[in-house]
Homo-oligomer: A and B are copies of this chain.
Amino acid sequence: MSTPIGIAVIGAGYWGPNLVRNAQATPALRLEYLCDLDVGRARQVLGQYSTVRATDDLDAVLADPAVQAVAIATPAATHVGIAMAALGAGKHVLVEKPLASTCADGAKVVQAAQDAGRVLMLDHTYCYTPAVTHLRALVRRGELGVLQYLDSVRINLGLVQSDVDVIWDLAPHDLSILDSLLPDEVAPVSVSAHGSDPLGCGQVCVAHLTIALSNGAIAHVHVNWLSPTKVRTTIVGGSRRTVVWDDLNPSQRLAVYDRAIETHDPAELGVEARNQTRVSYRIGDMVAPALPEREALRSMMSEFAASITEGRPPLTDGRSGLRVLALLEAASASLRAQGVSVPVEEVEA
């Protein structure tokens, strides 16, 4: 194996420790630093048995030639600044969602990465789960037939936050999964968003997004910080098969139903007394595919390393981050306008 890629993790808060753990477990990477404004917090995350350096000096990290890549897990508002600095220092960049607070800012980062010839990758972790990998292959090979609807529910008692609403906190997961699943010829065209703030905390805590797709289907996302039960279920309905992904059922995450409603041309049918006869039902078996046991974050880290080594864009590149941002911006605009349908800004390929 070639020399590992030196990496620094920036941010020792909620998510940073997961990046630290997985960077250490990825042979193609060598973790050099954990950097946080609170260096004590960084030391605590590393623990007393680690040889990795804790620091609060981002400039020094970016100046260290041993560091070829950074993984940014700081508060959302700081992503753009740190990413731009890192790209400016010639580093490859992995960044937590969302890429930026606006499409315009996000586009600047994408452009900067392109100009610098460096990898820019979004940590859309769910896209690297064995379930989404399998589901994506089914959709894109056409095994579900034509996409008819998508329904994604992500509800739980959540961390009510002062700087983002539940849409910007949770929906990036659903939207990045959607972005990953959709076949090339289908794209989101508009978003309608409804939400409420029953706690009076100044942020929408319960929200519903309805996304019109270019093929006439709709995708719906329900995100909620106030549910005492955790639900993480996505249904992808197709004209031939439908898949239910229940991420909280480890023994049966995916269920592929070989069932469908088939329509018939009324002209071909005779006169009928009752009115339900233009359709028929095909009821086949359900298959729960065996999925590998593999941590998504580990796969994501490997993809980051591989995209650097191979000089190619990663699966969840900056543009996928921009597409998710465009959906979030449209959702926020719709929310402010009482749910009217807002077109989604197109992202150049």
Contact = CB atoms under 8 A, between A and B. Distances in A.
Contacts of A201: 263, 278-279
B47 A261 contact: no
A299 interface: no
Contacts of A192: 192, 194, 339
A211 to B, nearest CB: 10
A257 B229 contact: yes
A341 interface: yes
Interface in A2-55: 13, 24-25, 31, 38, 47-52
A336 B58 CA distance: 54
Nearest to A277: B162
A239 interface: yes
A260 B227 CA distance: 9
Contacts of A338: 340-341
Interface in A255-298: 255, 257, 259-261, 263, 273-276, 278-279, 281, 283-290
Interface residues of A, number: 80
25 contacts: A24-B48, A50-B50, A51-B51, A148-B206, A149-B224, A151-B224, A157-B281, A162-B275, A162-B276, A162-B278, A196-B216, A198-B239, A199-B261, A199-B279, A208-B210, A208-B218, A226-B237, A226-B261, A229-B257, A230-B251, A248-B251, A283-B290, A286-B290, A287-B287, A339-B340
